[in-house]
A and B are shown apart, each in its own frame.
Chain A
């Protein structure tokens, strides 16, 4: 992979009850990395929501890494941030 092919997009903030989602690629498959205090008790739910949102884009996006720096976002916020970040990643939305 040439460095020129690397892409990245972000959505969200590090404010309390929000999260910062960073999508980078291309990588092999679909990689999800979550950090933050809530991950200890909500990791499964968070991963499920991230996958659901991405799958909602139709072509079941792969070859991306989704990094979530969580600061207590509820599911609905996490989903919105992932959707915005991926839309930016594929160039469908502005920043």
Chain B
């Protein structure tokens, strides 16, 4: 039987490997409220002078952790495409005869395609987390028995704290650790800066294993995750490849069309009621968002406006904004480049925050709630302003949710900035293939044709209309944009999918906003 949720998606009332959905259909961005108490981990007690957390290598730590077949293990992705830890742990589990594991990573990258043989051999039975690249393709073609569950950066800690997911063993890649299990991401040859995604796992797993290639004498400082949460410390030769962990410099786009889009977006921000002293924003690391930041910087200087904070994944660009006094603080859940890593290690105004603090909808106030403006991308946006960031034009699952849902829901002004077409493929359509973020929290779309305001935001439309007269912002209705894309591309053939659900897209509150179905061969 099919049910219909608030964004008009047909959701099976029962999904194999996920469960019944009728009690958890998406009802609206802020509709579902929590009840009851936090779930939590097993209580442990260390006795003074007895035992040691130093377990030896990865194999020994897995044995000491008591990990068994069928359990759930978690990972965080701050080492990004340079990470060795996921592959090391899964390979060791295979060698130890452990199978049918549920892996609960914050995200998997292309480097993790090394675990595909272990998915095929049954060591990994299920994935709950973002899958990118080769593993996404495998999932889309039906390579896993149970559906992947996709959660946002805030939805994931919510799921852990509320008991939707129980972590048996958390493996934490630790660029620096000491023998008591204190962990920091700020020092060591595999330094990655913030390790914010790992906090909730450390606080809520039954067993926490730190894996480090830089064991320092007790106590290290600064400490990100204190050893009070950590059971075991494993030492390995290398936890990652520095070249894949941080990029050298992130660059602003030089493509004239993308620069035009960034210029329109920046004018929209300037026209909005939020462009005032104390403005806060998040722009991420993409080419267009970085260019928006550059144009905003110009506007802030011109109008003598100083902002309060930059949020999210932090780049050197934001570090420079802080150095120039255009924002006072940086709140960093993931440090993207070397400048950000150096800054978080040396500047007390560059604050490391957990994913819970960053984006969880079910706590006493996440940082996204304090956000004025966010610039996002999307593979598709539809005439209801619903955004898809999960599936590509051919219907394949290739991207996680990241902080898209959380920042869109939290920010006062959510802008999706992107070209109208990617090659022949329209980015504005009648109906997105997958709803990641509902139109009710998307305020404006900016393309090379101008600014398109969500009709629900009449206040914003009025603010822009005034500004448009003097400063040349073309305003384009969404239907006109969709029609223009359709005329350029010609009619699209439908994506052929089967009934089988390969991934469930959860809204940040744990309700089902959409499902992704298996591609027909």
What is A's interface to B at a CB cutoff of 8 Å? 16-17, 36-38, 40-45, 70-75
The residue in A17, A42, A45, A73 that gathers the most chain B C-beta atoms within 10 A of its C-beta is A42
Query: Do B422 and A41 have beta carbons less than 8 Å apart?
Result: no
The residue in B423, B488, B489 that gathers the most chain A C-beta atoms within 10 A of its C-beta is B423
Within 8 Å of chain A (Cβ to Cβ): is B424?
A: yes
- What 17 new A-B contacts, CB under 8 Å, besides A70-B423, A72-B422? A36-B423, A37-B392, A38-B424, A40-B493, A40-B495, A41-B394, A42-B424, A43-B493, A44-B493, A45-B493, A70-B424, A72-B423, A72-B425, A73-B423, A74-B424, A74-B488, A74-B490
Query: Do B425 and A38 have beta carbons less than 8 Å apart?
Result: yes
Number of interface residues of B (CB under 8 A): 16
Contact of A71 among B394, B395, B423 (CB under 8 A): B423
Set of chain B residues within 8 Å of A75, measured between Cβ atoms: 490
A71 to B425, alpha carbons, bound, how many Å? 10
Contact of B489 among A36, A43, A70, A74 (CB under 8 A): A74
A75 to B424, alpha carbons, bound, how many Å? 9
A75 to B490, alpha carbons, bound, how many Å? 8
Within 8 Å of chain A (Cβ to Cβ): is B393?
A: yes
Set of chain A residues within 8 Å of B422, measured between Cβ atoms: 72
A72 CB → nearest B CB, Å: 2
B439 CB → nearest A CB, Å: 23
Within 8 Å of chain A (Cβ to Cβ): is B492?
A: yes
Nearest CB in chain B to that of A75: its residue: B490
Query: Do A42 and B493 have beta carbons less than 8 Å apart?
Result: yes
Query: Do A41 and B423 have beta carbons less than 8 Å apart?
Result: no
A41 CB → nearest B CB, Å: 4
A65 CB → nearest B CB, Å: 22
Set of chain B residues within 8 Å of A45, measured between Cβ atoms: 490-491, 493
Set of chain A residues within 8 Å of B393, measured between Cβ atoms: 37-38, 40-41
| Residues of B470-519 contacting chain A, CB below 8 A | 488-493, 495
A45 to B489, alpha carbons, bound, how many Å? 10
What are 29 A-B interface contacts by the 8 Å CB criterion? A16-B423, A17-B421, A17-B423, A17-B424, A36-B423, A37-B393, A38-B393, A38-B423, A38-B424, A40-B393, A40-B395, A41-B393, A41-B492, A41-B493, A42-B424, A42-B490, A42-B492, A44-B493, A45-B491, A45-B493, A70-B423, A72-B421, A72-B422, A72-B424, A72-B425, A74-B424, A74-B488, A74-B489, A75-B490
Q: Mark B33-56, 1 if CB is under 8 A from A, else 0.
A: 000000000000000000000000
Set of chain B residues within 8 Å of A17, measured between Cβ atoms: 421, 423-424
Nearest CB in chain B to that of A76: its residue: B488
